[in-house]
Structure 1
Amino acid sequence: MTTEPIDAVVTWVNGNDPAHRRKLDDYLASLNRARPAAADPTRFDDAGELPFCLASILRFAPWFRRIHIVTDDQRPPLLDALRGTPWEDRVRLVDHREIFAGYERHLPSFNSYAIIAALWRIDGLGDRFVYFNDDFSLIREVRPEDFFDGDTMLVRGRWQTQAAYRPVKRLAHALRRLVGRASAAQPGARVGHQAAQEESARMAGYERTFVRLFHTPYPMRRSTLEAYFAAHPEQLERNLEHRLRSPRNFNTECLAAHLDLAQDRAKLDSRLKLAHLKPDEQLPLRMWAKLRRADRDPSYAFACVQSLDKADRDTAARLTAWLEARIGSLAEALARA
């Protein structure tokens, strides 16, 4: 049994906020170029996911010691609902200035890779924590042992060969580099998620293989990241210095997993499943099939609705209704507390 407390960390941004929009517009103007893909509004728009994320944690994982909501000088209105409840002092708002202390020259940051790389610097953060994107939700009860089994961190993903050691991938990668060489160095150039994970694995000593992480809440150890960045401060700077996503970024969740795997402090365990819904990419029939599967199969513990803001009205309404049915409202979760 895990006895050491575990914290939850949720990153959130409201791109509809005029102050945030001005910050981003001012930075983009300084680039003197077309708006890059990394500044697509869908990366910052708030489609109301945070209340589901928080309600799901309160309902299905009330054992978290504290929930840290990381923002850029913003305050989610839902915090008002916590006043006078047992959660009022257990949900803490964390500003980017706190985690970028000493690196304020890289603020404001619009780069999730940079922000995640600094999460371990949250004041008072427990050594064990679970990182949630604000579009993550729990859809069934989970236990501490689903993230840390004793002293062993559970990693959800699968081993794969790195692209450089797969002939077809190596050829495709070479062609992409040839075609995209001029744009790759530009701020906000498209970042390959798998490439960032592979780079993170190499940083931990895995040259030929890597664990491709599933898009679920990520357990991490603060002490693991603190020790690594103390020994390699240039790597932390490398992620923080890019205000938009860059091909030079690595994936901190993946780095943390591989560092602990290398020390036999982590193991693969993907028994709990994810309903990963992408309204802007997946056909409705495919999404509805995923919802039915998640409702039938009790091993589905996580849901992620990615880019809900890009869904048409009917699709958004159906996805929201499903989340309401599976999770309930924040008020209902607080009433159970």
Structure 2
Amino acid sequence: MERRSFVRQAGLAGILAAGAAPAVVHAQAQIRWRLASSFPKSLDTIFGAADTFAKKVNELSGGKFQVSVHAGGELMPAFGVVDGVQNGTVEMAHTAPYYFFGKDETFALGCAIPFGLNSRQMTAWMVEGNGLKLMREFYRNYNIINFLGGNTGAQMGGWYRKEIKSIADIKGLKMRIGGFAGRILERMGGVPQNIPGGEIYSALEKGTIDAAEWVGPYDDQKLGFNKVAPNYYYPGWWEGGPQLDFFVNTKAYEALTPEYKAIVEAASAVAHIDMQAKYDAKNPAALKQLVGSGTKLFKFPKDVMDAAFKESMAVYAELSAKNPNWKKVYEDYANFRRDENIWFRFTEAGFDDFMQSQKL
């Protein structure tokens, strides 16, 4: 959807939220949708974005448009939601697009790739750049239209049973790592495992895996990873700004009236902002608690970061040579990333470097 349309619809949402909804909205038919999440209910931040969306849709429609939210595994497997939406089993899903890179690596560009965009840059590419346009063209192949569904912000680098002192410690490491990053880890000598969030703790506890990453302190503490793996690393070089999406079945969406379509867009925008606000507010206290209870905090060694960057760039070049879907989207993504990094270098990074050196 073009930006002008987004602005027009956001304007309608503002009218609705102010309680001055046009009569035509009140005349709409009752609609019931089901939303399949890829996340467990225990994670109020990432799963909660779907709840926020559903509540806002209900509020803006005066209760006429209702969305029931179902946790991963309730209606279908956590990683089965794309098939569910594509086939019309459910009207929509809330998920991390990079989970489905096995279908086509281009899915990852709608979420996060190693050494990609940070959260603000990702939103800028989607809303003001060509991101939303390009990804919607791609998702059309799967009978899906996407809407922004949240962002975690830059993530942590995960939990490890043993310290990672050099690239040699990555060799043979069995690690739960989400989406596309597993391919990079494999080229570095690791053994990636793609495991849903609700199953990570037991795998780490039993020693089925040696390490695991999820999101950051708040979620990680809830999942109890610190109890079975004491070494906590940063940064999550594979997820500088992972965007979640609401995937909506194209047929179901096109059947909506213009007013209900505007409500879907407005509700997704609210959920998108709300998720990162929650993570940014909750992560600091959780990190303090984790460190206070014995978690050992480490920065990845430089040779690990250098190797990961080198392998990532090599993979992207290889994909551009063989996957036309990837090439089309990645070229635009990479150009946007280059210009954004120049800007952020002089503004955000400069400001952050100074502020973080102060004792406030």
Tell me, yes or no, whether TM beats 0.5. Answer: no
* Bigger radius of gyration among the two: 2
TM-score tier, shorter chain, comes to under 0.3
